[in-house]
Structure 1
Amino acid sequence: MFRRDPDDGWQRITPMNSFAGQWLWFFDDQLVHSLLNVQPDDPRLARRAASHPSVVVAMRLWMEQLPEEALQELAAPVRQSDHDAMALAGQILFEMGKVEEAAQLFAKLAAIFPGHPFASMNLGLCQARMRAWAEAAENLKNALALHPDRAEVWFALGVTLVNQKRATEARSAFTRSLRLNSEYAPAWFGQGLACQLEGNHGEALRIYDKLLEAQPDREELLANALVAAAELRDSAKIRILAPRLLQLNPKSAHARLALCWIALEQGNLEEANKHCALVAQANPGDYRHWYNLGVCLLRMGQAEKAGAAFDNAARLQPDDAGSAEGLARSLTAVGRTEDARKAWERVLRLAPDREEAWFRFGLLLYEAGEHAEASAAFDRCVRLRPDWLDAWSNLGNARWSAGDFAAAVTAFQRVLDASPFHSAARRAMAALAVDTGNLTEAERYIEGLSGKDWEILYNLAMLFHSSGKLQRAASLYREVLATKPDFTEARFNLGSVLFGLGRVMEGQDSWKAAVAMKPELAGEILKWMGSGPLCEDEAVTV
Structure 2
Amino acid sequence: FADALGHYDRAIELGLRDHVVWNNKGVALDSLGRHEDALGCYDKSLAANPSYEIAWYNRGNAYSYLGQHERAVECYDRALALKPEYHVALYDKGLALAQLGKTRKALECYERLADLDGRNEVAWFRKGLLHEQLGKYEDAVAAYRRAVGLKAEYQDAWNALGNALYSLERYEEAIECYDKVLALNPKNAEAWNNKGFTFFMLGIHDEALRCYDRALTIDPSYKHAWYNKGYTFHGIDRLEDAVVCYRKALEIDQGDEVLWNNLGNALYNLGRYQESIPYFEKAIGVNPKYEIAWNNIGNALDKMGRHSESLKNHDKSLELKPDFDYALYAKGHALGKLGRSEEGLELIAQALELNPNYDHAWMAKAEVLHDLGRLEEARESLTNALVLNPTYDEAWVFRGNVSLELGDPEEARRCFEEALRSYDVALELEPGNGEVLRLRAKLLEELARDDEALPAYALAAKAGDAPAMAALAGLLLRDGRPAEAVTVARDLAGRTPPDADAHALLGLALLEAGSPSDAIPALEKSLELDPRPRVRRNLARALARTGRTDDGLRALASPGDAEDRLLRGEILRESRRFPEALAAYDAAIATGAHLDVAYLERSRALADAGRFPEALASLDAALGLSSGDPEVWREHGGIALKAGRPRTALRSLERATEIDPADSAAWGLRAEALAALGRTQEAERCRQRANGPALP
Specify the TM-score bucket, using the shorter chain as the normaliser.
Answer: 0.5 to 0.7
CA-to-partner distance for each residue in 1:160-182, whole Å, 9 max, x for gaps? 22343322111222233344444
Shift of 1:327: 0.9
Which residue is equivalent to 2:368?
428
Which residue is equivalent to 2:195?
259
Q: CA, structure 1 residues 258+108, in 2 after alignment: closer, same or farther (shift >3 Å)?
A: same
Q: CA, structure 1 residues 73+371, in 2 after alignment: closer, same or farther (shift >3 Å)?
A: closer
The one-letter code matched in structure 1 to 2:304 is A
Say if 2:87 and 2:113, in contact at 8 Å, map to a contact too: yes
Matched, 1:269 2:205: yes
Q: In 1, Cα distance between the equivalents of 2:322 and 2:335?
A: 17
Q: CA, structure 1 residues 348+163, in 2 after alignment: closer, same or farther (shift >3 Å)?
A: closer
Which residue is equivalent to 1:192?
128
Identify the match of residue 8 of structure 2 among 71, 80, 97: 71
Matched, 1:364 2:304: no
Seq. identity, %: 20
Q: In 2, Cα distance between the equivalents of 1:130 and 1:399?
A: 52
Q: CA, structure 1 residues 227+77, in 2 after alignment: closer, same or farther (shift >3 Å)?
A: farther
Which residue is equivalent to 1:220?
156
Say if 1:290 and 1:309, in contact at 8 Å, map to a contact too: yes
Which residue is equivalent to 2:622?
none
Shift of 1:370: 1.1
CA-to-partner distance for each residue in 1:195-250, whole Å, 9 max, x for gaps? 22222222222222223223211222223222222222323432332122113322
Q: In 1, Cα distance between the equivalents of 2:344 and 2:204?
A: 43
Which residue is equivalent to 2:57?
121
Shift of 1:146: 2.8
- Where relative contact order (Cα < 8 A, 6+ residues apart) is larger, the structure is 1
Identify the match of residue 270 of structure 2 among 328, 334, 346: 334
Say if 1:415 and 1:425, in contact at 8 Å, map to a contact too: no
Q: Which residues of 2 match residues 146-161 of structure 1 at below 5 A?
A: 146-161=82-97
Shift of 1:365: 1.3
Shift of 1:152: 3.1
Say if 2:122 and 2:147, in contact at 8 Å, map to a contact too: no
Q: In 2, Cα distance between the equivalents of 1:311 and 1:381?
A: 25
Shift of 1:74: 1.3
Which residue is equivalent to 2:245?
309
| Root-mean-square deviation over aligned CA pairs | 4.5
Matched, 1:165 2:105: no
Which residue is equivalent to 1:491?
none
Matched, 1:290 2:226: yes
Q: Which residues of 2 match residues 438-457 of structure 1 at below 5 A?
A: none
- SS at the partner of 1:177? helix
The one-letter code matched in structure 1 to 2:8 is L
Say if 1:412 and 1:425, in contact at 8 Å, map to a contact too: yes
Q: CA, structure 1 residues 74+406, in 2 after alignment: closer, same or farther (shift >3 Å)?
A: same
Q: CA, structure 1 residues 98+357, in 2 after alignment: closer, same or farther (shift >3 Å)?
A: closer
- SS at the partner of 1:118? helix
Q: In 2, Cα distance between the equivalents of 1:122 and 1:156?
A: 10
Say if 2:97 and 2:105, in contact at 8 Å, map to a contact too: yes
Q: CA, structure 1 residues 270+184, in 2 after alignment: closer, same or farther (shift >3 Å)?
A: closer
Q: In 1, Cα distance between the equivalents of 2:349 and 2:130?
A: 49
Q: In 2, Cα distance between the equivalents of 1:189 and 1:230?
A: 17
The one-letter code matched in structure 2 to 1:221 is A
Q: In 2, Cα distance between the equivalents of 1:259 and 1:72?
A: 52
The one-letter code matched in structure 2 to 1:425 is K
Identify the match of residue 209 of structure 1 among 145, 149, 154: 145
Q: CA, structure 1 residues 111+276, in 2 after alignment: closer, same or farther (shift >3 Å)?
A: farther
Shift of 1:406: 5.9
The one-letter code matched in structure 1 to 2:303 is E
Which residue is equivalent to 1:10?
none
More deviation in 123-132 or 255-264?
123-132
More deviation in 444-453 or 302-311?
444-453
The one-letter code matched in structure 2 to 1:250 is P
Say if 1:283 and 1:289, in contact at 8 Å, map to a contact too: no
Q: CA, structure 1 residues 401+84, in 2 after alignment: closer, same or farther (shift >3 Å)?
A: closer
Q: CA, structure 1 residues 368+264, in 2 after alignment: closer, same or farther (shift >3 Å)?
A: same
Q: CA, structure 1 residues 109+371, in 2 after alignment: closer, same or farther (shift >3 Å)?
A: same
Any stretches of 5+ residues in structure 2 without a counterpart? 384-395, 417-445, 450-627, 629-655, 671-696
Q: In 1, Cα distance between the equivalents of 2:335 and 2:105?
A: 53
Say if 1:151 and 1:178, in contact at 8 Å, map to a contact too: no
Shift of 1:69: 8.1
TM-score with structure 2 setting the length: 0.50
Q: In 2, Cα distance between the equivalents of 1:254 and 1:381?
A: 34
Shift of 1:112: 5.1
The one-letter code matched in structure 1 to 2:150 is A
Matched, 1:278 2:214: yes
Q: In 1, Cα distance between the equivalents of 2:199 and 2:217?
A: 19
Structure with the higher fraction of residues in helix conformation? 2
Q: In 1, Cα distance between the equivalents of 2:54 and 2:329?
A: 68
Q: In 2, Cα distance between the equivalents of 1:98 and 1:382?
A: 46
Any stretches of 5+ residues in structure 1 without a counterpart? 1-61, 434-440, 462-474, 488-495, 497-510, 527-542
TM-score with structure 1 setting the length: 0.62
Which residue is equivalent to 1:503?
none
Shift of 1:481: 8.8
Q: Which residues of 2 match residues 127-142 of structure 1 at below 5 A?
A: 127-128=63-64, 133-142=69-78
Say if 1:416 and 1:426, in contact at 8 Å, map to a contact too: no
Which residue is equivalent to 1:343?
279
Q: Which residues of 2 match residues 470-489 of structure 1 at below 5 A?
A: 486=448
Say if 2:11 and 2:17, in contact at 8 Å, map to a contact too: no
Q: In 2, Cα distance between the equivalents of 1:515 and 1:325?
A: 55
